[in-house]
């Protein structure tokens, strides 16, 4: 069994994989040392672990995991991936973006894929049918746009996403909600449309905290995959097992 751990700024996510299928998911807001060592002690049949983190890896945690398990990988710029990474500034590439693209490649091998991660920022990343990661673009996410309108103006209120919105707002609240939400929806659809002109077989995957909300309002068909990063990390782990053993 594989244990996949994704350590973010506010939350730690763990996924258990067997034969490339997710068995269970665990989330925590506690410290990574406590959470991960607890998982390892409870599930003794864990054979391999991969960890991706936005923070430094505590040396105590590294030593503890390596003592108990056959293989522990820490996802960084040196690890081998099944994708040819053609991004020019590899040192500044977020590992979650690359992992999500590996996940897309796992689900749709040998196919052109666009991965949209709708979180604090919204990222668009492209993987070719030749298993090459080319890059993409980064834009402000949904809630960041609401916050920016409030922060950079004197009178506009700070609002939250709302399922009830129209093309034309009849008051200031409706106008803000309409502008922010439709603006992002139009942006995503336009990006997809333009990429489809070059790649007619394009498969679009969306993930992230606002993915469910946005996917319901897009005119383009998208595949909602909340666990695409975990799927990608498992793919990277399996790839390294293959080339090492």
Catalytic residues: 96
CA distance 54 to 1: 24
- DSSP one-letter string for 197-225: HH-TT-EEEEESTTHHHHHTT-SS--EE-
Calpha distance 188→142 (Å, rounded): 12
Q: How many CB atoms lie within 10 A of CB 198?
A: 9
Structure tokens at 67: 């003592």
Up-side HSE of residue 232: CA atoms within 13 Å toward CB? 26
What's the half-sphere exposure (Cβ side, CA atoms, 13 Å) at 148?
11
Answer for the pair 218, 212: CB distance below 8 angstroms, yes or no.
no
Q: Count Cβ atoms within 10 A of the Cβ of residue 36 and give its class: 0-12 exposed, 13-18 middle, 19 or more buried.
A: buried
Output DSSP code: residue 91: G
Q: Tokens 């990574």 correspond to what residue?
A: 32
Distance, first Cα to last Cα, the chain:
16
**In whole angstroms, what is the distance from residue 241 CA to residue 212 CA?**
33
Question: Helix 228-244 to helix 95-107 angle, to the nearest 10 degrees?
Answer: 80
């Amino acid at each position: 069994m594989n244990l996949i751990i994704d350590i973010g700024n506010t939350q730690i996510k763990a996924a258990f994989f067997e034969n490339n299928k997710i068995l269970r998911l665990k989330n925590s807001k506690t410290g990574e040392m406590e959470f991960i060592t607890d998982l390892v002690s409870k599930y003794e049949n864990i054979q391999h672990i991969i960890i991706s983190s936005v923070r430094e890896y505590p040396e105590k945690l590294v030593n503890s995991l390596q003592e108990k398990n056959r293989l522990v990988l820490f996802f960084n710029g040196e690890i081998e991936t099944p994708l040819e990474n053609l991004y020019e500034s590899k040192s500044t590439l977020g590992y979650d973006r690359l992992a999500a693209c590996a996940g897309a490649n796992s689900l749709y091998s040998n196919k052109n894929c666009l991965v949209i991660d709708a979180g604090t920022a919204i990222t668009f990343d492209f993987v070719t049918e030749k298993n090459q990661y080319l890059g993409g673009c980064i834009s402000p996410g949904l809630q960041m746009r609401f916050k920016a309108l409030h922060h950079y103006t004197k009178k506009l209120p700070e609002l939250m996403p709302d399922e009830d919105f129209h093309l034309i707002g009849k008051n200031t609240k409706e106008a803000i909600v309409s502008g922010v939400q439709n603006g992002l929806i139009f942006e995503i659809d336009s990006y997809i449309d333009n990429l489809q002109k070059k790649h007619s077989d394009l498969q679009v995957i969306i993930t992230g905290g606002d993915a469910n909300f946005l996917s319901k309002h897009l005119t383009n068909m998208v595949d909602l995959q909340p666990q695409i990063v975990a799927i990608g990390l498992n793919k990277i782990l399996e790839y390294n097992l293959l080339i090492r053993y």
